[in-house]
Amino acid sequence: MARRSQSSLSVEPTKLKLPKQKKKLTKKDMAGYLFSAPLIVGIVGFALYPMIAALIMSFKKSGGLLGKAWVGFQNYSYVLTDKAFWQAIYNTFYMGILSVILGVILSFILASLIYNARPRWRNFFKGIYFLPNVVSLVATSILFTFLFYPSHEGLLNYVLGWFGVKPLGWFSDPSFSRVSIVLMTLWGMLGYNTIIFLAALTSVPRDLYEAAEVDGASWFHKWWYITIPYLRSIIMFMVIIGTINGMKRFTDVWLIGGTAGNPAGTLMTGVLYIYRNGFLANQMGIATAASYILFIIILILTILMMRFNRKSNFD
């Protein structure tokens, strides 16, 4: 009996596939569709449609009247051979990668320090480090143009003057401008990253630390061999989000460097290039082509990072 029932069970999946019955929409299904409809309509109307419209536009003649003649890959060819675009991409990568590396490392160290602080101090430090995150990027940029003022009247140069350092052109000298933007970004993003890491740190099981302590592990060993591996997925998430945000950099560099990305084009980023062509020169074809190229670059970067993360997990 048992054998018969077993064999009937083994053929059941194929039996299930055979009858092609029309599935009726139940009330429950309808409710599900109704609940998800606003989001789907929103995504289709405000994300999918603009993306398709932009893709179509990128294959059309660039200036003047919209909806003009098809030009094939001409806009893409223009962007890919424009040295201003490649300089913009280089600047974007330079500032993006530096911000991500320094941002993730510093905020992780900071989160670990706050996590190990006395409980009553934890909230205090969380609040202090998170404060810059609530300041708008416009206000931050204006604030930093004065902090980084390229004479002794700037706060940072004034302090450096005590040590005999001559005033540096933080935002006005091409050698320092990109690093200065990274420093400004770190000031703003550190708090947010720290809060995320702090939340993640609480998820590490205590018994792992206790077992390590029994084996005589130092605090550094516990941090290096338990905390970091355990938080690898969070670190990866922060790197990916940080990279995407870095690739989209616009407001701060535009406010500080203008449309030229002054000084010497060092603050010209990919999005600034798109803005310049789209909204100053009304060359929507070129702007949308550049947007798609940037989209592909971000997509490739994200895939590479996710693959790398999967491989590391497997190892």
Partner 1 sequence: MKMKKWLMSTVLLILVFSLAACSSDSKSSSGNSHIKVVSKMKGTVRVALAGWQLDNGIDALTGKKTEGLKEYLKKEFSPRYPNIKVKLTQVPWENAKAKQTAMLKSGDADVLYSGGAFAFSWYQQGLLKDLNPLIDKDKAFDPDIYLKGLWENAYSTRAPDRKTQFGIPVALGRRAIGYDKKLFKEWGVEPLSDNPTPEEILSKAKQMTGKNPKTGKQNYGLWWEGNGLNDSTAVALSYAFGAKGAEGRLDKLGDLKWELNAPEMVKVMEWLKEASQYAPKAFVNGKGNEKWATKDNDIAIYLDCTGGTLMSNYLQSKDESLLDRFQPTMNMGPDGRGWVAVDPFVMAKNAKNVDASWEVMKFLTNYDTQKYMYDNFNQSPTLAKADFVNKKDAFLQKELAIAKITKPTLLDEANPYFSSDIIPEINGFISKAANGKAPDIQSFLDDVQKRAEKWSADQ
Binding site for partner 1 (CB under 8 A): 62-66, 74, 78, 82, 84, 145, 149-151, 169, 171-174, 256-265, 268, 276-277, 279-283
CB nearer partner 1, residue 196 or residue 289: 289
* φ, ψ (nearest 5 deg) of residue 60: -110, 165
CB nearer partner 1, residue 76 or residue 192: 76
CB nearer partner 1, residue 55 or residue 260: 260
Residues 6+ apart with CB under 8 A from 244: 298, 302
CB nearer partner 1, residue 96 or residue 257: 257
Spell out the SS3 assignment of 160-201. HHHCCCCCCCCCCCHHHHHHHHHHHHHHHHHHHHHHHHHHHH
CB nearer partner 1, residue 129 or residue 148: 148
Tell me how far, at minimum, the Cβ of 253 lies from partner 1, in Å: 11
Tell me how far, at minimum, the Cβ of 48 lies from partner 1, in Å: 19
Tell me how far, at minimum, the Cβ of 157 lies from partner 1, in Å: 10
Tell me how far, at minimum, the Cβ of 150 lies from partner 1, in Å: 4
CB nearer partner 1, residue 99 or residue 180: 180
CA-only gyration radius of the chain, Å: 27
CB nearer partner 1, residue 60 or residue 222: 60
Tell me how far, at minimum, the Cβ of 170 lies from partner 1, in Å: 10
Q: Which two tokens stand for residue 63?
A: 């200036």
CB nearer partner 1, residue 222 or residue 276: 276
Measured distance CA(142)–CA(140) in Å, rounded: 6
Residue with tokens 């009330």: 27
Tell me how far, at minimum, the Cβ of 134 lies from partner 1, in Å: 20
Residues 6+ apart with CB under 8 A from 119: none
Burial per residue of 268-278, b for 16 or more beta-carbon CB atoms within 10 angstroms, e otherwise: bbbbbbbbbbb
Tell me how far, at minimum, the Cβ of 145 lies from partner 1, in Å: 6
Tell me how far, at minimum, the Cβ of 39 lies from partner 1, in Å: 24
Q: Which whole-number Å values give the CA distances from 186 to 196, 239, 270, in the listed order?
A: 15, 14, 20
Q: Which whole-number Å values give the CA distances from 196 to 45, 66, 186, 193, 311, in the listed order?
A: 32, 44, 15, 5, 24
Backbone conformation region of residue 269, classed left if phi is above 0, alpha if psi is from -120 to 50, else beta: beta
Q: Are 251 and 271 in contact (CB under 8 A)?
A: no
* φ, ψ (nearest 5 deg) of residue 70: -75, 140
